[in-house]
């Protein structure tokens, strides 16, 4: 079955740039999406269709893709950005797939 | 305001059935595909199932195919998930999520979830 692979954890100091990667064979053909989930809360969309940012999401969040790798970048990470981040895409049959999630620590 | 409210969760014995509902408001429900996503305690997100605007396209995760059935009633602005032959590994918080488009893609709005616990 199709898999999206993320690092389990990323740690940065406040103000530094955090990069979270997501790799998957179908990413060159299927858009990646990124969701932020803070403890005890429902997920929130932070990046869609590779690099678009929904209204209300700070400009420090950006997305990019190259080949089979998608990257979520948080430029100047803040303490409030601490959360689990999940990439999402679909396989060739249209089934949804999440990455395993990355725990971002900002301290 | 766009709102998704799940209901129907609870404690159920292995092998039994449960039906989840999701009430949608604040948007034109029949313009959009809808999904169910679950999260087992302390674990990551898992896409469960999705249904297009007119129920013409439906997909299931391999883990639930043949046991779960997704459906929608556009007249009632509601999404459903019929879960049969439940197993302990189906224990999770089940989220209803709105798609960006009428066909199956990804989700822009999530509900708060309803908890399903499968245990004897």
Q: State the Cα–Cα distance between residues A61 and A48, nearest whole angstrom.
A: 11
| CB contact B108 to A (< 8 Å) | yes
Q: What is the pLDDT of residues B48-81, one digit of tens each?
A: 999 999 999 999 999 999 999 999 999 999 999 9
Nearest CA in chain B to A103: B44
Are B44 and A98 inside 8 Å of each other by CB?
Answer: yes
Q: How far is the CA of A42 from the CAs of B31, B41, B97, in angstroms?
A: 23, 13, 10
Give B-chain residues touching A26 at CB under 8 angstroms: none
The whole-angstrom distance between A37's CA and the closest CA on chain B is 10
Of B44, B108, B109, the CB nearest to A86: B44
Confidence at residue B58, expressed as pLDDT on a 0 to 100 scale:
96
To the nearest whole Å, the CA of B37 is away from the closest chain A CA by 9
Average pLDDT score over residue span A12-26: 96
Nearest to B2 by CA among A42, A31, A58, A101: A42
Closest CA to B72 of B22, B1, B17, B8: B22
Q: Are B34 and B22 in contact (CB under 8 A)?
A: yes
pLDDT at B80: 98
Record the tokens describing residue B32, joined without a space: 């959009």
Contact B7, B21 (CB under 8 A): yes
**pLDDT tens figures, B22-44:** 999 999 999 999 999 999 999 99
Inter-chain contact A48–B100, Cβ cutoff 8 Å?
A: yes
The beta-carbon neighbor of B59 closest among A86, A95, A101 is: A95
Interface contact B45, partner A, CB < 8 A: yes
Interface check for B42 against chain A (CB to CB < 8 A): the answer is no
Kindly list the distances between the CA atom of residue A72 and the CA atoms of A3, A18, A66, A75, A96, in Å, as whole numbers in the listed order.
Answer: 18, 8, 12, 10, 19
Mean pLDDT of A28-55: 95
């Amino acid at each position: 079955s199709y898999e999206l692979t993320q690092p389990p954890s990323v740690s940065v100091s406040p103000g530094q740039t955090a990069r979270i990667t997501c790799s998957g064979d179908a990413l060159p053909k299927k858009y990646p999406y990124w969701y932020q989930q803070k403890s005890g809360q429902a997920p929130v969309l932070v990046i869609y269709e590779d690099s678009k940012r929904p209204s209300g999401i700070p400009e420090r969040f950006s997305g990019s893709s190259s080949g089979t790798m998608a990257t979520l970048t948080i430029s100047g990470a803040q303490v409030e950005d601490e959360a689990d981040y999940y990439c999402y895409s679909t396989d060739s049959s249209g089934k949804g797939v999440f990455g395993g999630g990355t725990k971002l620590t900002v301290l | 305001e766009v709102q998704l409210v799940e209901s129907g969760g609870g404690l159920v014995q292995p092998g039994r059935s449960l039906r989840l509902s999701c009430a949608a408001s604040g948007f034109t429900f029949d313009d959009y595909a809808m999904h169910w996503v679950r999260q087992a305690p302390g674990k990551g997100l898992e896409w469960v199932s999705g249904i297009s605007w007119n129920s013409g396209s439906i997909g299931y995760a391999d883990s639930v195919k043949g046991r779960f059935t997704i459906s929608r009633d556009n007249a009632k602005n509601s999404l459903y998930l019929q879960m049969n032959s439940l197993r302990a590994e189906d224990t999770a918080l089940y989220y209803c999520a709105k798609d960006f488009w009428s066909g199956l893609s990804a989700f822009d709005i999530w509900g708060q979830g309803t908890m399903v616990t499968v245990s004897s």
